[in-house]
Amino acid sequence: MATTLRERPAALNLTATAHARIADLMGRAPADAIGVKLSTPRRGCSGLAYSVDYVTDAKPFDERIETPGGTLFVDGGSILYLIGSTMDWVEDDFTAGFVFANPNAKGACGCGESFTV
């Protein structure tokens, strides 16, 4: 009996504007940066926050997502909190930043800076 492998679904979905923002970030990245990394450090009123930073080396358990503008790494310890999420880049008259639609989040603080699972 032959085993049929199906393509593994993406751990994180990115919108076209998120792809464009990653390309913009990588266009201005420090020379030693190999991509940007999404993590969920413990911070804020609800416990976890989203953080995006340049990364200079890949860790063994990081999820690697190739985008048209560069590589997005997702912290291996954060991936379970983010599976099925959508990452978007939103700009308006007052703010600009990555916005996450996270089906795993059970609540968020009033200011929207942190979430809980």
pTM for the whole structure? 0.82
Any alpha helices (H) in the chain, and if so which ranges? Answer: 16-27, 79-82
pLDDT digits (tens, 9 = 90+) for 54-93: 999 989 999 999 989 899 999 998 888 888 899 999 998 8
Q: Please check the confidence at residue 50 and state whether its pLDDT lies above 90.
A: no
Residue type present at position 77 = G
- Beta bridge partner(s), residue 54: 36
The residues near 31 (Cβ < 8 Å, ≥ 6 apart) are: none
Locate 6 and state its tokens.
């199906």
Q: Do 65 and 71 form a contact (C-beta atoms < 8 A)?
A: yes
Residues written for the chain: 117
